[in-house]
A = this chain, B = another copy of it.
Amino acid sequence: MIAQTPKLPYYAVIFTSIRTPGDYKAYAEMAELMIDLAQKQKGFLGVESARDSLGITVSYWKDLESIKQWKKHSQHQIAQQKGQSEWYKCYKTRIAKVERDYSFEK
């Protein structure tokens, strides 16, 4: 689903990753858990995710402070550690301020 984000400005966290082979079940469970948990955080606005050879997850947040708090969340910290030790070959995180947006719908 395309995230229904509010009026500008808001923030996007663009997380692009390449997986290591294997361990699909544990990874998928953690990914789902993290999305559920993120949705409960203060300042969370929405998330979009797609994966083929590359994975791209974009989460949307009210401000930089809510992104910082989410990064520090204890369960998210555990997921980040497992990500580095097991699940990801490489990733890049970009934090960006959304300045314009526009939509098309049939």
Complex contacts, A55 vs chain B, CB 8 Å = 50
Contact B16 A2 (CB under 8 A): yes
Interface size on A, residues (CB 8 A): 42
- Which stretch (A27-35, A36-44, A87-95) binds chain B? A87-95
- Chain B residues contacting A17 (CB-CB under 8 Å) are 2
Are A99 and B101 neighbours in the complex by a CB distance under 8 Å?
no
A24 in contact (CB, < 8 A) = no
Residue in chain B with minimal CB distance to A101: B94
Cα-based distance from A99 to B31 in the complex (angstroms): 25
Q: Is A48 an interface residue (CB 8 A)?
A: yes
> Hey, which bits of chain A sit against chain B, CB under 8 A?
1-3, 5, 11-12, 14, 16-18, 20, 48-56, 58, 83-84, 88-106
